[in-house]
Amino acid sequence: MHVDTRISARLYTGNMVEEKKYNGISWLRMQDPSREEIDSIIREYDIPPHIADELRLPSSKQRADLYEHFVFGVFHFPLPAGDELGAGRREIDFIVGRDFIITANYGDGDPLHDFSKLFEVNSLLEKREPGEHGGHIFFYIMKHLYHAIEKRIAALDAELEEMEAEIFKNHEREMVRSLSEASRVALDIGKMLAHHAELLESFIAASAELFGVGFEPYLRSLIADYDKIRMSVSSSREFLAELRETNRTLLTSKQNETMKFFTVISFVTFPLALLVSILNIESPDNPLSGNPDKFLIIVAITAIVSLVLFIIFKRKRWL
């Protein structure tokens, strides 16, 4: 099995369009393509000009549309750039024909870089027959991207387990921000993948005429992968919700204990301060007035009253 790979000579503004071939099927991978590069490919593959505008600008709507000789799809993936741990949105546009597939994405990092290396060294195709049309390459690309998302969810679950341990080490306050950030990541993953099942169903309907019904099981397999990811995200969000509730409960309990302690201290110190102030009043009716041991007597009275109040509070379980 031989994979013919080459770097395309389409260089206009320092960007690069990479082209790889397998048995007559071309994969053009565009990372931050220039207008000239997009226009050149549009003309070469007889793609309607309005698709060029779709490739140049990010799209807020995901979709899959059938054209005369290709399927055009816009997918959003929760794949962060570089080594970030968040769930940044990465849009990948697909143009899938019988003998070609074009992918376009923008931003730092390339989510298809690893798959490109697998394709290039033939490690992917040694074990799997890629098929006879571009739809099969689309299938393996989507498999690779879903696998990357599964790894991110597994990393999130590992982070949540670490947070759980920290919560029960009395680090509830420090975990408030970490739990909020994890919640944002889980929410973003779920939100970006929410329409993938619908998109893949649309892709099945759109590609049936172009690739035949034999391609449907491949797309059904992708839907099964999506369902697995969706269940994993749901499980992570449930675990996260329980952690946040536990953390909130422990934090509230600790705050209540602190407030109770200061309330008791205030209740003890106020009458003592009042008693000391009264005993210090210079008056003929003050029994301690002129007593040379006045200071020691006040200290003793204060200590006795404090001890009595402490015993009462302990028996009432207020301390």
How far apart CA 211 and CA 135 sit, in angstroms, is: 7
- State the pLDDT confidence band at 123, using cuts at 50, 70 and 90: very low
Whether residue 144 has pLDDT greater than 60: yes
pLDDT at 294: 72
56 contacts 166 by C-beta, under 8 angstroms: no
Using a cut of 0.85, tell me whether the model's pTM lies above it: no
Least confident of 63-72, 209-218, 307-316: 307-316
Higher-pLDDT residue of 266, 223: 223
Whether residue 2 has pLDDT greater than 50: no
How far apart CA 70 and CA 73 sit, in angstroms, is: 10
- State the pLDDT confidence band at 8, using cuts at 50, 70 and 90: very low
How far apart CA 136 and CA 217 sit, in angstroms, is: 11
Residue pLDDT, tens place only, 228-271: 999 999 999 999 999 888 888 888 877 777 777 777 777 777 77
4 contacts 125 by C-beta, under 8 angstroms: no
Structural domains of the chain, with CATH: 4-154+198-233 (3.30.460.20), 258-315 (no CATH)
How far apart CA 22 and CA 140 sit, in angstroms, is: 13
